[in-house]
Structure 1
Amino acid sequence: MTPPPGWYRDPSVPHAERWWDGTAWTEHRRAPEATAPQSATPPVPGPQGYGTPGYGAPGHEPHATVPMTPGRPTAGTASGRAPKVVALVAAGAVLLTAIVTGVIVLGKDDGGADVDTAPTLATSAPVDREPASDTPTPTDSASEPPVDDPAVVTDQLNGITLPLLDGWVRPRNLPEPDVLMTTDGTYECPADFGYCRHGKVSSRTATADDGPTPEAIAKTDIQDAADDAYDRDLVGRRPFGGVESHQVVASGPVKVSGRAGYFVRWRVTTAEGPGGYVQSLAFPSRVGTESPVILRYVFDAGEDGPPLADMDRFTRGIRSTAD
């Protein structure tokens, strides 16, 4: 039951073949490229041992034997060991073929020169891959850039959003800082040179000097809010001739995006024009350090001013960007 005489992979030199005479290994070796049919006549002993010059010359079909694992070929038994040996040596043949292919492919660098590197092992069987497709693979929707809601204005600094109501637009060409939105269009200011808007909404982050609670902050801020809106502008002009008086028309606690806030609303009388309404609203933010936020609403009074109910609509529509 031992393998018949023939050329097999040398167990001590895997890259060469060695002659097996049916019972033992001989000293005759050759390169694996010089192959011959298994049925070829074994080499005749000569002065240098087994081997006949020219035997296994190129042109012969590769022999049908399989590479042997290191060690002497073993015979199968009735228990089924022979099929296992055949399967193992067959797998070894495929692996060795992949190694030789890797040496041929990787043995050259970009310039065509030989590279003295060890062969890279490869798997014994190719890995199935899906064919390329021209259809792009859908990406995770979470990685796509968010699309701004046209009906919402976002205050990124304070982490809130407000609804953009009818008649209101995002600020354009305004020198005042922190303005989130204004009424659409302008008009000539009644008392001084320049152009005014009928409504503005602005925000800022409160500091420790503004007060310890939303109530204290709102009551402290309302005077500054009225002066900034109707007394003097940033360059010292008086577009409404200055503030002559004010009246508290509403104040009290209010829920803002689930947080306890406080507001104060004044009716302001000016020297020129119909005057207006000013409201300071203070509440804690839900992002970052959760510092209090101050929102100011400035609405002109009279027929051209925005509806006073918009102040309440803005407050009810405030949301945290953390939601």
Structure 2
Amino acid sequence: MTQTTPPGWHPDPGHSGIGTLQERWWDGSRWTDQLRIPPATVRRRRIRIGAGIAAAVVVLAAVGGGAYVLGAGSDDRADSSASPSAPSESPRMPGAPGGGGQDGGQGGGGQDPDQQPMPQTEDGYATDAASGISIPVPDGWTGQSGPIGAGVQTGEYACPGAESETCVRGGVTSAPAQALKIDATTAKAAAQADIKANAEESYGEKIYGGITSHEELRSEAVTVAGQKGYAVRWKVVTKNGDDGYVESLAFPSPNVKGMLVVLRSGFDINAKAPKLSVLDDITKGIKEAEGAGSAAGSGETA
């Protein structure tokens, strides 16, 4: 860039060629540390989110303790802007309920080709290319890799309150914090900011009749993929169906400088659901994705 180039978001000149190409903010005279995922890549979708997150172009089945339904309705469109956003803004991610079909199927006209999940790039792992991490897939679970986000889940069943939709007994998903519109600079702040939204999206709305109360079980520093992060875990009580455990865990990406990754988890409290210890095992097994390189350093601490 030259000094005559106006400030704005431009393709990151430091992109290694691995993972999703991000944009970096040019302030008119120099490159800053502000990064974002291009809005054209992060589509607005009509989604009901379970314990997982809306991973933009990743099609996951039901994730977490709640329903995950990806719709392809008439309001699906690329997020675009007439002028560059300020560097404090992050790409908008969908969160509105509605649309879609059972088992994450497409409603209203089939599935977009660019909504197909990536094949698993590492045996036994679901890889989040944007975040540069791989999540282990426990025996009997299914996993989906994606260019933005990844997830693992188990135990499909008809959702209470909406039996035409599918819920699962346990699930874990990941995404860059900015994709969830979390404006935080530390792992602790990101986890604390996300836990309420995670709980409501996992066990709220008409599916579970809402959350009547919650108990904080955990709020502490953790290490994930060699990075210093922070986790907040709640036990939630619902009006309909099973109660559940939800956890929001944030940590710096092991290979993208300045990026925080958020891991959302949800486990039903039910004899058919996986034990909570499985969540801890999954977290311990998260690693830097193969071939992702190492450009981030240790990042922010909790």
Alignment TM-score, normalising by the size of structure 2: 0.52
Q: 1:267: how far off?
A: 0.3
Contact conserved, 2:172 with 2:265, CA < 8 A, in 1? Answer: yes
With over 3 angstroms needed to count, the CA separation of the structure-2 counterparts of 1:206 and 1:147, relative to structure 1, is closer
Q: Give the match for residue 164 of structure 1.
A: 137
1:223 pairs, out of 181, 196, 207, with 196
Q: Determine the C-alpha separation between the residues in 2 that align with 1:178 and 1:163.
A: 14
SS in 2 for 1:255: strand
Which structure features the higher share of strand residues? 2
Total equivalences in the alignment: 168
Q: Give the match for residue 314 of structure 1.
A: 282
| 1:63-142 matches, cutoff 5 A | none
Contact conserved, 1:189 with 1:196, CA < 8 A, in 2? Answer: yes
| 1:193-204 matches, cutoff 5 A | 193=163, 194-204=165-175
Q: Give the match for residue 161 of structure 2.
A: 191
Q: Determine the C-alpha separation between the residues in 1 that align with 2:186 and 2:133.
A: 19
With over 3 angstroms needed to count, the CA separation of the structure-2 counterparts of 1:227 and 1:147, relative to structure 1, is closer
| 1:142-291 matches, cutoff 5 A | 148-171=121-144, 178-183=149-154, 185-193=155-163, 194-207=165-178, 209-232=182-205, 238-291=206-259
Instruction: Give the letter for the 2:191 counterpart.
Output: A
Q: 1:171: how far off?
A: 4.6
Q: 1:288: how far off?
A: 2.8
Q: Determine the C-alpha separation between the residues in 2 that align with 1:242 and 1:155.
A: 30
- Tell me how large the CA RMSD over aligned residues is: 2.3
Moved more, 146-155 or 223-232: 146-155
2:270 pairs, out of 277, 302, 319, with 302
Which structure features the higher share of helix residues? 1
Runs of 4+ in 1 over 3 A off after TM superposition: 146-149
Q: 1:189: how far off?
A: 1.4
Q: Determine the C-alpha separation between the residues in 1 that align with 2:135 and 2:227.
A: 15
SS in 2 for 1:286: coil
Q: Determine the C-alpha separation between the residues in 2 that align with 1:149 and 1:205.
A: 20
Contact conserved, 2:149 with 2:176, CA < 8 A, in 1? Answer: no
The CA deviation string for residues 148-193 of structure 1, in whole angstroms up to 9 with x for no partner, is: 4331111111000111112310259xxxx9451211x421212223
Alignment TM-score, normalising by the size of structure 1: 0.49
The CA deviation string for residues 44-74 of structure 1, in whole angstroms up to 9 with x for no partner, is: xxxxxxxxxxxxxxxxxxxxxxxxxxxxxxx
Q: 1:209: how far off?
A: 4.5
Instruction: Give the letter for the 1:214 counterpart.
Output: A
Q: Determine the C-alpha separation between the residues in 2 that align with 1:290 and 1:166.
A: 33
SS in 2 for 1:266: strand
Ranges in structure 1 where 5+ consecutive residues have no aligned partner: 1-145, 233-237
Contact conserved, 2:126 with 2:144, CA < 8 A, in 1? Answer: no
The CA deviation string for residues 215-241 of structure 1, in whole angstroms up to 9 with x for no partner, is: 111011000000110103xxxxx1111
With over 3 angstroms needed to count, the CA separation of the structure-2 counterparts of 1:147 and 1:223, relative to structure 1, is closer
Q: Determine the C-alpha separation between the residues in 2 that align with 1:199 and 1:278.
A: 10
Q: Determine the C-alpha separation between the residues in 2 that align with 1:258 and 1:181.
A: 21
Contact conserved, 2:214 with 2:235, CA < 8 A, in 1? Answer: yes
The CA deviation string for residues 260-317 of structure 1, in whole angstroms up to 9 with x for no partner, is: 1000000011101121100000000122334010000111111011110011111111
The CA deviation string for residues 78-123 of structure 1, in whole angstroms up to 9 with x for no partner, is: xxxxxxxxxxxxxxxxxxxxxxxxxxxxxxxxxxxxxxxxxxxxxx
SS in 2 for 1:198: strand
Ranges in structure 2 where 5+ consecutive residues have no aligned partner: 1-118, 295-302
The CA deviation string for residues 15-56 of structure 1, in whole angstroms up to 9 with x for no partner, is: xxxxxxxxxxxxxxxxxxxxxxxxxxxxxxxxxxxxxxxxxx
With over 3 angstroms needed to count, the CA separation of the structure-2 counterparts of 1:211 and 1:149, relative to structure 1, is closer
SS in 1 for 2:241: coil
Bigger relative contact order, structure 1 or 2 (CA pairs below 8 A, ≥6 apart): 2
Contact conserved, 2:128 with 2:149, CA < 8 A, in 1? Answer: no
Q: 1:147: how far off?
A: 8.6
